[in-house]
Amino acid sequence: MQKTWWKEAIVYQIYPRSFKDANGDGIGDLRGILEKLDYVASLGVDVVWLSPHFKSPNVDNGYDISDYLDIMDEFGTMEDFDAVLAGLHERGIKLIIDLVVNHSSDQHPWFQAARTAKDNPYRDYYIWRPPVNGQTPNDWRAFFAGSAWELDETTGEYYLHLFTKEQPDLNWENPKLRHEVYKAMRFWLDKGVDGFRMDVITFISKDQTYPPYPETRFGDFTVYANGPRVHEFLHEMNREVLSKYDCMTVGESFGVTAEQALSYVGEGRHELQTIYHFDHVTVRNPHTFVNGWQDFNLQELKAIFYKWDRALGDQGWNTMYFGNHDNPRVISRFGDPAHHKASGKMIATLLLTQRATPYLYQGDEIGMTNCPFDAIEEFNDVEVLNNYKEFVEEKGADDAAYLANANIIARDHARTPMQWNTAPQAGFTTGMPWLKINPNYTEINVEAALADPDSIFHYYRQLIALRKANPALTYGANEDILPEHPQVWAYTRTFEGVCFLVVVNFGKTTQALPLDLSGYTLSLSNLNEGTPHTLAPYESRIYQRS
């Protein structure tokens, strides 16, 4: 196993729209990020992943790109981008950007041209099929409700869109399209960008027979992943672009199982360096708004972690995250807002002591929680709104139940603006914010976190420093030493004769810790209970063996 910078990196994800608004229009922007670079650097992170900053009509907040070589109007200019990149580099932080090339926006000039005529030179940049018996070509459904096919009146054919109808899928079968993508990648790499997070990259190759949706898997979108040519395309992308730069890649890998993971990231594969799986964030709860919430237990979660650690630990490399812009807030999802500090720090402990590159999402470092949304109109996300239209308005699902589910899992929870201080609008903007601000900003905000030496923020800083000072926390073998325990997670991380022991109480009841701790010295803990063989709710400790 080779040591590399991207295995040792700690990544901080910025969702630009919600980070900091510098010009008072209510929308976060690049100048806003620039103002906060010292804050980001103070955490000790090595890499920033910036969610899409490209020109976009924002049907899906930038995940619908209308120009891969330009900046979103609301976010600023290319000079602003260059300033952010330079500012990060000056602080020793690398930048990876979001490559969204499974689909473009329907406003992209390629699609605008493609839809004008069947023989347009850009037609084949997208996926067109004639109607079958006057109906859609097959029964594929889109992620954000409804059919995955949209009829285009001009030519009487359907185009494929796995997401909204404003996000037509690009046709990777077409080598011209592939080379346009590689050109765009080179443009940003030549500017000095350090790599890519690749949006739904496992969907780029489609089964050219467009088979009917497997009946038994209705609503299971993993069927779109791992198409017949996906490895060939990634291999080509690696040969044409990635292999020529010292860059980092992480492929969003919805639908890739632990057993399939090495085929993407195995060292001899020359495809991607890492992938980002969904198994732990969807445990018992696939992302739907119509099913009720299912509780899960720690054993299920551990089983997922160790499956992935065994699959990639020695021959590939894992990633680790609890939150991002598509998931609820980590304390609301995996911890407990009633144990705000303790559970926020417990999640941090788990995040930063795995054999994997950790991804920290903006706001989690100050313990932001889910936002109470009182009515459907308060949501912004196309996923919540389109599914509401289909399931509640068209199919009669229960309105209150839908709202309750959305209050648990909606993506908007992660997208409410960053809470900087107690000023109006949490110091995010001087104008009207594009999305509701969580009313708890008066208590949970950056200024308060910085002023409190015992805050979640300072605990993240300490953890990050500990991880960086001790390669065993990055590279060490991970062994679960209480595999049967339903609420305590205890594991060792061992590397080159150094051994750490991590113990975590993943729940709201006090637990006995049935471990012999002689020979271990406490490195860091989230509570100061002083009772070694008892773990308070959400207590977590890191010991080093002397």
Sign of CA dihedral 371, 376, 381, 384: positive
Residue 72 or 200: which CB sits closer to Ca ion? Answer: 72
* Residue 199 annotated among the catalytic residues of the structure: yes
Give me the phi and psi of 181, to 5 degrees please. -65, -45
Does the footprint of Ca ion cover residue 23 (CB under 5 A)?
Answer: yes
Pick one of 111, 158, 163, 402: the residue that binds ligand ISL (CB under 6 A).
163
Please choose which of Ca ion, ligand ISL, none residue 287 contacts, taking the beta carbon within 5 to 8 angstroms, the exact cut-off set by kind: ligand ISL
Q: Which residue, among 219, 380, 388, 378, has the nearest Cα to 289 in the 3D structure?
A: 388
Task: Give the nearer residue to ligand ISL in terms of CB position, either 202 or 474.
Answer: 202
Q: What CA–CA distance (Å, rounded) separates 218 from 214?
A: 7
When asked if residue 333 is in the footprint of ligand ISL (CB under 6 A), the reply is no
Do 54 and 71 touch, CB atoms closer than 8 A?
yes
199 binds ligand ISL (CB under 6 A): yes
Give CA separation, 66 vs 183, 214, 237, 406, in Å.
16, 33, 21, 29
By CB under 6 A, the count of residues binding ligand ISL is: 14
Q: Which helix (H) or strand (E) holds 197?
A: strand 195-198
Q: Catalytic one among 64, 106, 252, 381?
A: 252
Among 287, 341, 355, 485, binds ligand ISL (CB under 6 A): 287
Residue bearing tokens 């100048």? 31
- The Cα 35–Cα 408 span in angstroms is 32
Least CB distance to ligand ISL at residue 365 (A): 20
The nearer residue to ligand ISL, 219 or 228, going by C-beta atoms, is 219
Closer by beta carbon to Ca ion, 25 or else 479: 25
Q: How far is the CB of 164 from ligand ISL (least distance, A)?
A: 8
Which residue stretch of 27-35, 58-66, 147-155, 458-466 sits at the interface with Ca ion (rule: CB under 5 A)? 27-35
Taking CB within 5 to 8 Å according to partner kind, which of ligand ISL, Ca ion, none is near residue 15?
none
- Nearest distance, CB of residue 409 and ligand ISL, angstroms: 8
Catalytic pick from 21, 98, 199, 365? Answer: 199
d(CA 463, CA 105): 40
Under rule CB under 5 A, residue 25 binds Ca ion: yes
**Is 254 one of the binding residues for ligand ISL (CB under 6 A)?**
yes
Kindly tell me which of 325 and 485 has the beta carbon lying closer to ligand ISL: 325
**For residue 198, which of 103, 270, 110 has the smallest C-alpha distance?**
103
242 scored as a contact of ligand ISL (CB under 6 A) = no
The option from ligand ISL, Ca ion, none interacting with 25 (CB < 5 to 8 A, set by class) reads: Ca ion
21 binds, among Ca ion, ligand ISL, none (CB under 5 to 8 A by kind): Ca ion
> Which residue is it, tokens 């949006």?
199
Q: Least distance to ligand ISL from the beta carbon of 85, Å?
A: 22
Residue number with CB closer to Ca ion (16 or 313): 16
157 lies in the site for ligand ISL, by CB under 6 A: no
Among 24-32, 242-250, 325-333, 338-346, the segment contacting ligand ISL (CB under 6 A): 325-333
427 contacts 421 by C-beta, under 8 angstroms: yes
Amino acid letter at 252? E
| Helix (H), strand (E) counts: the chain | 17, 20
Tokens coding 228: 């017949």
Question: Which stretch, 2-10, 112-120, 323-331, 457-465, contacts ligand ISL (CB under 6 A)?
Answer: 323-331
User: Got the DSSP string for 403-421?
Assistant: HHHHHHH-THHHHSPP---
Give Dmax over CA atoms of the chain in angstroms: 76
Residue 21 is a binding residue for Ca ion (CB under 5 A):
yes
Cβ contact 56:38 at 8 Å? no
Q: Which regions of 326-380 does DSSP assign to beta strands (E)?
A: 357-361
Q: Among this protein's residues, is 259 annotated catalytic?
A: no
How near is the Cβ of 324 to ligand ISL at its closest, in Å?
7
Closest by CA position to 308, among listed 468, 460, 466, 480: 480
- Please, how many CA atoms are within 13 Å of residue 139, restricted to the half-sphere of its CB? 8
72's contact among ligand ISL, Ca ion, none, with CB below 5 to 8 A by partner kind, is none
* Residues 29-88 within binding reach of Ca ion (CB under 5 A): 29
The 8-class DSSP code of residue 394 comes to I
In this structure, the number of other CB atoms found within 10 A of the CB of residue 63 comes to 24
Residues labelled catalytic? 199, 252
Q: Write out the residues near Ca ion by the rule CB under 5 A.
A: 21, 23, 25, 27, 29
Q: Write out the residues near ligand ISL by the rule CB under 6 A.
A: 60, 63, 100, 143, 163, 199-200, 252, 254, 287, 325-327, 411
